[in-house]
Amino acid sequence: MIQPFQTVSAHSDLETYSAIIDVRSPGEFAQDHIPGAINLPVLNDQERIDIGTLYRENSYHARLKGAALVSRNIAHHIESRLVSEHTDFTPLIYCWRGGLRSHSMATVMKSIGWHVHLLEGGYRSFRKQVSLELQSLMTQSPFQLKVLAGLTGVGKTKLLKALKQLGAQILDLEGLANHRGSLLGEPHDGKQPSQKHFESQLWHKLKQLDPARPVYIEAESNRIGNLHLPSAFWSSLAHAEVIHIDMPIEQRIALTKTDYHHFLENPSALVERLQILRRIRGHKQVEHWESLIQEGLWDDFLHSILTQHYDLAYRGPGEEKSKYPAPKHYFTIPENENAHYLRIAADITELYS
C-alpha cells in the first residue's frame, strides 16, 4: 500500500510530536498505551465488538457500517478535542498494528493540512520495543541503583520524596504500580494498572534517567500487588547499593496511622483484609487484632501488627534468601517530621556527590 503520510518506527523519539493519538477502543487503551498518548477512538468498545461480529457474517456489510461509524467518530473528535489545533499540528497516530483504524484517522487529518505521522506496526511494535529495551536498559547501560531498605513504617516513600525534593533521581515503583507493596497496600482510590501498562510506564521512566547519576528506589519484592517486576530489572537489584533506614517503633506507628488513615475511617475493610493472615499468623492472633480494631485501640493494633506480622516477615538485606546485598550505610530517622527526612536525604546525597 502506498502511504500518503510518513511512518516512524517504534524506536524513534516519540516525544517530538504535538500529540500522540491512540485511535484504538477505550478498553484497549486502558490495558496499555504509549505514555502521554490521548485516546481518540474511531470505534468504541461496543462498536468494535459489533463490527467484528458482523464481519464474520458479512464482510461487506461490516465494512459499510464500520466506515459510517468511523467517519462519525472522527468528525466528533475533530469538532471537539482537535478543533483548536493550528496548521502546524503534527500528530503521531497509531492503532493495534498500523491498519485501517489509524489510516482512516490519518487520511482525514492529512486532508485538513496537518503534518500526520503513523507509527509503523502500531501498538504491537511499540510493545515489542518496550520488552526489548527493558532488557537492554538494565544490562547494557546499568543504573547506579541505591536501594532504601528498612522495616515497614520507617517512611521509605517519604524519604524517597525528600530525595526528589533535593533534586535527586528517584524511581517510585509503588507509585507506578499504584500499590504500597504490602498486605494493606491495595489502592483505595483506584486500581492497579495492567502488567503491560506498568512495564510501559517503567520503560518511560528509565528512559528519562541519567545512568551517570544515582537512582534511588525503595526495596521491593519481585511483586508489587498483582504486578511483577521485569526479570532484567529484578536481577539488577542484586548489584544495587543498599541504604538501611531505621526509626523508633512509636514513630513508625504514628507514620503508619497517617499513611493508612483510610482503614481507620473504614474499619470493616481493614478487618476483611486481615482474614488472609489467619493461615499465616493463626486465628487467635487475627481475632486479637480484630478486637483491638473494634475497640478503637489503633496504637495498640498498629504496634501489634507491625511487630507480630510485618517485622517477622521482613527479610533484611544480606540475609539468607534476600535479593539485596548487605547495607553499606545506616541511618536512623528519630521522628516522623519532614525536616528529619530532608536532613537524612541531604546526608544521603552527600555520600554520592
153: left (phi over 0), alpha (psi -120 to 50) or beta: left
67: left (phi over 0), alpha (psi -120 to 50) or beta: alpha
Active site residue 95: yes
- Cα–chain center distance at 17: 23
- Cα–chain center distance at 255: 24
108: how many CB neighbours lie within 10 A of its CB?
A: 18
Looking at residue 96, the DSSP 8-state letter turns out to be S
Q: Which residues contact 156 (CB under 8 A, 6 or more apart)?
A: 148, 149, 150, 218, 219, 245
Query: What is each CA distance from 27 to 83, 124, 125, 350, in whole angstroms?
Result: 25, 15, 19, 46
41: left (phi over 0), alpha (psi -120 to 50) or beta: beta
β-bridge pairing 144-149 and 241-246: parallel
Query: What is each CA distance from 331 to 101, 148, 229, 328, 347, in whole angstroms?
Result: 55, 10, 27, 10, 9
CB 117 within 8 A of CB 104: no
Encoded amino acid at 76, one letter? H
What gap in Å lies between CA 119 and CA 171, rounded to an integer? Answer: 28
Which cell is 248 given?
523508633
* Identified catalytic residue from 37, 95, 245, 306: 95
Which cell is 178 given?
499504584
Helix (H) or strand (E) holding 194: none
Looking at residue 306, the DSSP 8-state letter turns out to be I
Question: Could you list the active site residues?
Answer: 95
